[in-house]
Amino acid sequence: MSIIQYTTTNNNDLAQQFAASIKKENSIFTPIFVGISNNETKEWLVEQVAEYNTISANFVFKKPLQCVEMIHQILGLGNSRKELLQSSQLNWIIFSILKKEQFTRQFPTIANYFSADDLKRFTLAEKIASLFSKYQEFDQNLINKLEDETGENNEEHIRWQSFIWKQLNQIASNNFSSLSKMYQEILAHLSGNLDHQKILTQKIPSLYFYGTVPYTTDFVNFLVELGKYIDIQIFRLDHDSDTYSCRLYETLSGFQKKQAPLFNGIITEKLPVSVSQAENTLLSSVQQELVGSNTVNYAFNETDDSIQITNNYSVYREVEALWNYLITQFDADKNLQQREVCVIIPSFEKYAPAIKAIFGNDHLKFDYSFFNTSYKIQDSPYKALLALYAMDEKEFTSKQVFGLLEYKYIREKFGFAEDLETIKRAIYLANIRHGIDGDIELETDMVSWRYGLKRLVYGGCIENTDELLTFADTEFYPVSEFEDGDFFEIIRLNHFVETLYDWVKLKEEKRSLFDWIKHLERTIENFINIEEQDPNVFNRQLDGLMKVRDLVSEDVPFAVIHYHLKKLFDNLEQSEKIGYGGIRFISPNPNIAVPAKIYCFLGMNGNEFPRLSRKLSFDLLSEEKEFSASGLDKNMFLNLILGAEEKLYISYIGQSVTDNSSIPPSTLIEELTDALKKWGIPKDTFIAKHPLHLFSTKYNQNDPRLIRFSNSTKEEIEKAAVSNFANLELEKDAEGNKIIPLHSLIRFIEDPIRHYYNRVLGIYYSDRTIDLEDCEPFALSHLENWSIKDDLLKKRLQINQDDETSVLEKKRRGKLPFRNFGIAPISENMKEVDSLLAKLPHWFSETVNRSVPINFVCNQYRIIGNIDGVYDDKYLFATVSTDKWKYRIRSLINFMVLTLFDTSKTQGSYIHKKDQSPLNKKEDFENNLIQLCELFERGSSELIHFTSDFIKITAKKMDTYLSATDLEEYFHSQLNAPEPSKVYASEYFTRELKNGFLDEEQAFDQFKTTYIEIIGIVESGLQE
């Protein structure tokens, strides 16, 4: 039996040696035990063995310390239930020890820190448990010091930690074992005991360790001793620092230098040094420098893109830039496979949404997998469980409850449809905001769940009605928009809310650890559908709590168990990857050593990487004994550079989205760029600064570093959409006249860009967005205030009398703030409405407002619809808003159509907040209407650029703009102006403006022509 290590600087060579070793020494029917540090190593290693040996089977992969525990169990040492004490279990036992009267009396300073705060006590226990785990792994002498301490030591931190350690061993010795004791017990039972040696060699004839494993002095010493009884082979990346003079290596090699002395005395076979990159590229030259080559001869080539660094504004732009970069790589190398690309992301929770949105793009979708990540980045039952435990009885908001239904495991349990728009709209229309019942005195009962659900349920049971209903002393207006299948969703919502509230009321009671376990099990059973999930994953976590339940005698408050659950799921890694094949997304594990053709690193920001080492004030472990976070990150970056076979892509957020100021990148990027100066390469050559938006014109300036594959996306979408709609002509009547609904014509003339996006492309922006509110209204927004005024004006115009809208009615319908906050807006708005009504002509009070149905033919177009505001032979259009082109357009087109349909109608008035204009029948109305109808027909198949939002630009003024630049500057000055001069333009127009539609001369000329044509018609029609 022996122990041997194989070292090299190239992972492919290391994997080939590993494959040769297991082929030589193992039968495919014998389990092959391999110690590794991360899942991506396992995935890659299995593929490499299959490639070299044509078969890869019967592997048993474990973390290094799990291997120790496995040997301990195989030898049957101690109690059958005895196992390695995990940090998550240490937490609870230390939590209990900290409350002991003996501890609080002897160490009042520590006890005063947490006092009566149980959550503070638990977080302290968590930190102490983490330290104890670290002590066991890195310094057995320190553990011995804690065990031998007699209370006479001058250092208080040693005394109180010694007290806890001894208590811990006393309480848990029958069930658990420390790492150092496991080492001792295993070696003691093997020494001179042939039976134990035989059992071990039968079960584990050989033990392999592969890749960058965090070796410590005690662990290596244990392996050396264990190597006397079974074969142990270590496959390790190692860089011989004696041959290197490169400054970059000196910066990155701290971890390597600290580990190298651990293996002195172990038989070592150094595999031949090879560089995985083709020579004469920038990356290969850097790699040769790092492995100590003295023959690096690189001549800078502008087409060399083997190292690229990108500067971005945001996480989303980082991922977007990466997506475009990878498309060009796959396009340039037809043999490149998606699994040969590896991307490191610093935070799965931060980056996963952007990755899913961009890499899941139907236009060009990549396969991808997430490795070594927690359940929190996906819609898992465990993430849903955390959301449930975050519910607050006092608030119980609409956003919280609706948010729970967005988890499919909760949604499916209660039978809701996957599309939640019906539920969201129901909550919005019922004005449900927070609280189960609310407070009648404060009028918050009208935004409570039970009040809102009553409005919804009765609205579905009673045939369409808008009348005030009374039930059980509660008055309410039913919401009657939901029928049939949608109504069943309302019933499910009612059941879910009542079930949830009953559960929330009781969840914060104190319970024993055993009762909390049962509570968790019942919660999963009642709220979460886990039929498709492997129950063992969570059961293993519950088993960990079950093992210490009898060791924690006190009742545990909700805050502590909730905190524990969050930490548990934060650190709970999947045993398998998320996804199937494709591009590998991995977390920045310090032990990464898997090669890839293209290595990418996102988020290499100055304040995040490398991580700063934060040492606790009561940490007794010396810095020389442990690996610093900064050193581990630098070692990972070293492995990253050496593991990239063809390309290295690095990205960071280097620009502020608020003020465009520069944000420094990681110091390691600075070190890398400094290393490249020896070849005379300026930093700007390989650092690309991406603009804030993908549609920026900077992508059109032929800069090879700025890549935007999606240049053609919009054109392709338009082409595909137009081909689908090209044959859809306007509907025709029996005589062959083209039918145009009057309201569609008006909406088109107001905003032809929106018409094209909606009708032709099928794209809708914020028009249909519903945002749920979680607090009662205290004031009206500008839009809500305008809606109240408009509603008051319409009522006055319809019935022509002073009929103030009921304040209470509007509160019950959710249109006004509560109590006195709701009275003031009505009073103020009535003043404005009365002021506007005072401007009305005398004939308004002498006749009745009626709606006129329209149906007539103008040239080849049949106009159909209804026109309100007709008083005998006159037309009135009144608005509480200020004068705008869109109101002029509405009033004029309605009046134009009315006079052409009924020649007796010859006069009208357009009245707005500040002034009024007479409307008189004109001879050219018919020609004008034909012009507008022809424009409508053309705009239903092609994009016509026009906006009615800039009232200051007349037809004559537009004709003075001779360049697109001047016009664009004016638009931006109005859109960015301070109140009240600011213009709120259509989102459709502003998007087109940002996309640079004015950059093309033809588009600018078309815009001017259309603007002058439409505004010219409106101006002439409103002239006296």
Per-residue pLDDT tens for 59-105? 888 888 888 888 888 888 755 444 555 666 788 888 888 888 898 99
Q: What is the pLDDT of residues 206-233, one digit of tens each?
A: 899 988 787 888 888 888 889 889 999 9
Asked if omega into 777 is within 30° of 0 (cis), the reply is: no
Range with the lowest mean pLDDT among 309-323, 363-377, 605-619?
A: 363-377
Structure confidence at residue 929 (pLDDT) = 92
Measured from the Cβ of residue 1024, the count of other Cβ atoms closer than 10 Å reads 6
Is 177 a residue whose pLDDT tops 80? Answer: no
Structure confidence at residue 807 (pLDDT) = 59
Q: Which fold has domain 3-79+182-275?
A: Rossmann fold (3.40.50)
Structure confidence at residue 553 (pLDDT) = 80
Q: Which fold has domain 307-373+577-700?
A: Rossmann fold (3.40.50)
Range with the lowest mean pLDDT among 762-776, 831-845, 881-895?
A: 762-776
Distance CA 793, CA 869 (A): 12
Long-range contacts of 653-659 (CB under 8 A, 24+ apart): 653/311, 653/312, 653/313, 653/314, 653/315, 653/318, 653/603, 653/605, 654/311, 654/312, 654/689, 655/311, 655/312, 655/313, 655/689, 655/692, 656/313, 657/313, 657/314, 657/692
Residue ranges of the domains in the chain?
3-79+182-275, 86-177, 307-373+577-700, 394-504, 508-572, 712-945
Structure confidence at residue 697 (pLDDT) = 60
Is 722 a residue whose pLDDT tops 50? Answer: no
CA dihedral 382, 386, 388, 391 (to 10 degrees): -170
Structure confidence at residue 864 (pLDDT) = 92
User: Which of 672, 585, 528, 693 minimizes the C-alpha distance to 351?
Assistant: 585
Assigned token pair, 872: 């005998």
Q: What is the pLDDT of residues 553-601, one digit of tens each?
A: 888 899 998 888 887 776 654 444 444 467 888 877 766 767 888 999 9
Structure confidence at residue 928 (pLDDT) = 92
> Where does the pLDDT of residue 498 fall: very low under 50, low under 70, confident under 90, or very high at 90 and above?
very high
Higher pLDDT, 818 or 360: 360
Higher pLDDT, 627 or 809: 627
Q: Which fold has domain 712-945?
A: Lambda Exonuclease; Chain A (3.90.320)
Distance CA 245, CA 678 (A): 14
Q: What is the pLDDT of residues 854-869, one digit of tens each?
A: 999 999 999 999 998 8
Question: What is the distance between the terminal CA atoms of the chain, rounded to a whole angstrom?
Answer: 108
Range with the lowest mean pLDDT among 45-54, 365-374, 604-613, 857-866?
A: 365-374
DSSP state, residue 737: P
Stretch 625-631: mean pLDDT: 75
Distance CA 544, CA 81 (A): 12
CATH class assigned to 394-504: mainly alpha
Is 895 a residue whose pLDDT tops 70? Answer: yes
Measured from the Cβ of residue 448, the count of other Cβ atoms closer than 10 Å reads 22
Structure confidence at residue 585 (pLDDT) = 83
Stretch 406-421: mean pLDDT: 87
> Where does the pLDDT of residue 379 fall: very low under 50, low under 70, confident under 90, or very high at 90 and above?
low
Higher pLDDT, 1010 or 780: 1010
Using DSSP's 3-state secondary structure scheme, residue 31 falls into coil
CA dihedral 565, 534, 42, 70 (to 10 degrees): 80
Stretch 384-408: mean pLDDT: 86
Structure confidence at residue 124 (pLDDT) = 92
Structure confidence at residue 419 (pLDDT) = 81
Structure confidence at residue 363 (pLDDT) = 60
Range with the lowest mean pLDDT among 26-40, 149-163, 560-574, 644-658?
A: 560-574
Measured from the Cβ of residue 525, the count of other Cβ atoms closer than 10 Å reads 10
Structure confidence at residue 245 (pLDDT) = 54
Stretch 614-626: mean pLDDT: 80
Distance CA 881, CA 348 (A): 48
Distance CA 119, CA 125 (A): 10
Residue 569's contacts (CB-CB under 8 Å, 6 or more residues apart) are: 374, 375, 376, 382, 383, 386
Q: What are phi and psi of 3, to 5 degrees?
A: -130, 135
Most confident of 285-299, 655-669, 827-841: 655-669
Stretch 467-486: mean pLDDT: 74
Average pLDDT, the chain: 78
Is 780 a residue whose pLDDT tops 60? Answer: yes
Structure confidence at residue 721 (pLDDT) = 43
Structure confidence at residue 936 (pLDDT) = 92
Structure confidence at residue 932 (pLDDT) = 93
Is 17 a residue whose pLDDT tops 60? Answer: yes
Is 918 a residue whose pLDDT tops 70? Answer: yes
Q: What is the pLDDT of residues 246-294, one digit of tens each?
A: 666 666 666 666 677 778 878 888 887 665 445 678 888 777 777 766 6
Asked if omega into 588 is within 30° of 0 (cis), the reply is: no
Residue 617's contacts (CB-CB under 8 Å, 6 or more residues apart) are: none
Structure confidence at residue 933 (pLDDT) = 93
Stretch 629-643: mean pLDDT: 80
Strand partners, 579: 369
- How do strand 861-871 and strand 850-858 relate by DSSP bridges? antiparallel
Structure confidence at residue 801 (pLDDT) = 44
Stretch 529-533: mean pLDDT: 72
Assigned token pair, 482: 């939901």
Is 499 a residue whose pLDDT tops 90? Answer: yes
Report percent pLDDT > 70 for the chain.
77
Is 714 a residue whose pLDDT tops 50? Answer: no
How far CA 761 is from CA of 730, 756, 768, 993, 1007, in Å, comes to: 16, 7, 16, 18, 20
CA dihedral 234, 235, 239, 240 (to 10 degrees): 50
User: Which of 374, 375, 407 minimizes the C-alpha distance to 388?
Assistant: 407
Structure confidence at residue 554 (pLDDT) = 86
Q: Which fold has domain 86-177?
A: Arc Repressor Mutant, subunit A (1.10.10)
Is 34 a residue whose pLDDT tops 70? Answer: yes
Instruction: Assess whether the region 3-79+182-275 and the region 307-373+577-700 belong to the same CATH fold.
Output: yes
Stretch 422-429: mean pLDDT: 86
Structure confidence at residue 233 (pLDDT) = 92
Strand partners, 738: 732, 861
Q: What are phi and psi of 67, to 5 degrees?
A: -65, -40
Higher pLDDT, 138 or 708: 138
- How do strand 176-177 and strand 83-84 relate by DSSP bridges? parallel
